[in-house]
Amino acid sequence: MSHLYVHVPFCQRRCSYCDFSIAVRKRIPAREFVDVILKEAEPHQLVDLETIYFGGGTPSLLPPEAVATLLNKLREAGETEVTLEANPEDVTSEHANAWRGAGINRVSLGAQSFDDNVLKWMHRSHDAAQTHRAVQALRDAGIDNISLDLIFGLPEELHRDWDKDLEIAHALRPTHLSLYGLTVEPRTPLDRWISRGATRAPDEDRYAEEYLSAHKRLSAGGYQFYEVSNASLPGFRSRHNSAYWSGQPYVGLGPAAHSFDGRTRRWNLRAWEAYRLAVAEGRSAVESEETLTEEQRELEAVYLGLRSSDGIAVGTGSIRAVPGWLEVRGGRLKCTPEGWLRLDSLVTYDSATH
Ligand code: SF4
């Protein structure tokens, strides 16, 4: 079994907090994209794929025929989880039906918030009503496995009502939710607004409060947090992302895509044009690579294990229980929601003291 990620770098504009590797385009060069991805895929043995994930950027900007062409060539028949990240404004009935016909069976929707003022502040191109319509269009087309992304920890002056957003998200009953705390990345519009005092930096207390209230609300509603930022209804964990978190090999195609063979991680050139040119001219698209030492692999397994609800075996390395943060449940050491909040400092603590 193997896993394939395809990075679609195109966006129509840049969101205020985003530092991803994207190419802002009014016209999407779909044909060039399909050709170059298929060319990059040639040397790879893409057999027995368990999951395929179109991430971005905004994969829903690709014409559905381009998605269909890629899936026709890259995928064999079988029980593959095929996810497409989509922005709500791109999800029309026509697109949803075409995606379903092409083999997409899971859609991850960038909802982010149900407050239109907040969405404007984020420079998103959709409003809350479009997210509701998108969910309906996907379900009408037979795509019931829907994940919603939400961002929490926004600056106070936006007066974002996080509990209300959680209620709305919960009422939509997606199979999966991904919750991301707002971070300020260098050279983003948000970074510039903060530098010139036009907005305040996100507040740590608010971040913690909202993260913990999401755990409470969603757990009470039948969702299981199976990773720091991800919750699902039973049976609907993301198989693709779970593969990353359990250290399984995967192939990444497209600009900035990462691949991992179990020991070595490689990543492609970030800029679309540089990547396209390299592949078109028959050169390698890989920008760089790192081979993990045994020690790095062990540390990574501990870190990823602690990020997941499976935790790690008691007695792994020198990790011990920390009351309230890291507890033994079912014979394994697992983070509490408070522990997940502090996970980064826990890992630093351990590696700094041993
Ligand atoms: S749509 Fe996603 S990838 Fe594109 S700019 Fe916004 S956050 Fe970044």
Per-residue pLDDT, 29: 97
Closest by CA position to 204, among listed 163, 152, 159 = 152
* Ligand 1 midpoint to CA 88 (Å): 12
* Ligand 1 midpoint to CA 86 (Å): 10
Tens of pLDDT along 81-136? Answer: 999 999 999 999 999 999 999 999 999 999 999 999 999 999 999 999 999 999 99
With bands split at pLDDT 50, 70 and 90, how would you rate the model's confidence at 78? Answer: confident
Nearest CA to ligand 1 atom 6: 15
* Number of helices and strands in the chain (H, E): 13, 17
Ligand 1 pocket, residue 14 CB under 6 Å: yes
Sign, CA torsion 84/250/12/31: negative
Ligand 1 pocket, residue 22 CB under 6 Å: yes
Residues 201 and 155 sit within 8 Å (Cβ to Cβ) = yes
pLDDT of 348 > 70? The answer is no
Ligand 1, residues 14, 26, 122: which to mutate, most atoms within 8 A of Cβ?
14
DSSP symbols for 95-142? HHHHHHHHT--EEEEEEE-S-HHHHHHTT-S--HHHHHHHHHHHHHTT
Ligand 1 pocket, residue 15 CB under 6 Å: yes
pLDDT of 335 > 50? The answer is yes
pLDDT (average), residues 219-227:
97
Beta strand 258-260 pairing with 264-268: antiparallel
Tens of pLDDT along 148-178? Answer: 999 999 999 999 999 999 999 999 999 999 9
| Neighbouring residues of 81: CB distance < 8 A, sequence distance ≥ 6 | 50, 51, 52, 105, 106, 238, 239, 240
* Ligand 1 midpoint to CA 67 (Å): 19
* Ligand 1 midpoint to CA 18 (Å): 6
Sign, CA torsion 126/127/128/130: negative
Ligand 1 pocket, residue 151 CB under 6 Å: no
Beta strand 332-335 pairing with 326-329: antiparallel
Give 203's Cβ-side CA count (13 Å radius). Answer: 11
Per-residue pLDDT, 344: 64
* Ligand 1 midpoint to CA 267 (Å): 20
* Ligand 1 midpoint to CA 270 (Å): 15
Q: Which atom of ligand 1 is nearest to the CA of 87?
A: 1
Nearest CA to ligand 1 atom 2: 57
Tens of pLDDT along 14-30? Answer: 999 999 889 999 999 99
Ligand 1 pocket, residue 20 CB under 6 Å: yes
CA angle (153 as vertex; 147, 154 as ends), nearest 5: 100
Percent of the chain clearing pLDDT 90 (strictly above): 88
Q: Which atom of ligand 1 is nearest to the CA of 56?
A: 3
Residues 146 and 174 sit within 8 Å (Cβ to Cβ) = yes
Nearest CA to ligand 1 atom 5: 14
Per-residue pLDDT, 318: 80
Ligand 1 pocket, residue 41 CB under 6 Å: no
Per-residue pLDDT, 350: 40
Tokens of 51: 């999951």
Per-residue pLDDT, 105: 97
Ligand 1, residues 10, 58, 112: which to mutate, most atoms within 8 A of Cβ?
58
Ligand 1 pocket, residue 11 CB under 6 Å: yes
Tens of pLDDT along 24-68? Answer: 999 999 999 999 999 999 999 888 899 999 999 999 999 999 999
With bands split at pLDDT 50, 70 and 90, how would you rate the model's confidence at 317? Answer: confident
Tens of pLDDT along 186-203? Answer: 999 999 999 999 999 889
pLDDT of 352 > 50? The answer is no
Ligand 1 pocket, residue 18 CB under 6 Å: yes
Residue 246's identity, in one-letter code, is S
Per-residue pLDDT, 315: 85
pLDDT of 349 > 60? The answer is no
Mean pLDDT of the chain: 94
Ligand 1 pocket, residue 207 CB under 6 Å: no
Q: Which atom of ligand 1 is nearest to the CA of 17?
A: 7
pLDDT (average), residues 244-270:
96
Residues 311 and 336 sit within 8 Å (Cβ to Cβ) = no
With bands split at pLDDT 50, 70 and 90, how would you rate the model's confidence at 345? Answer: low
Ligand 1 pocket, residue 326 CB under 6 Å: no
Percent of the chain clearing pLDDT 70 (strictly above): 96
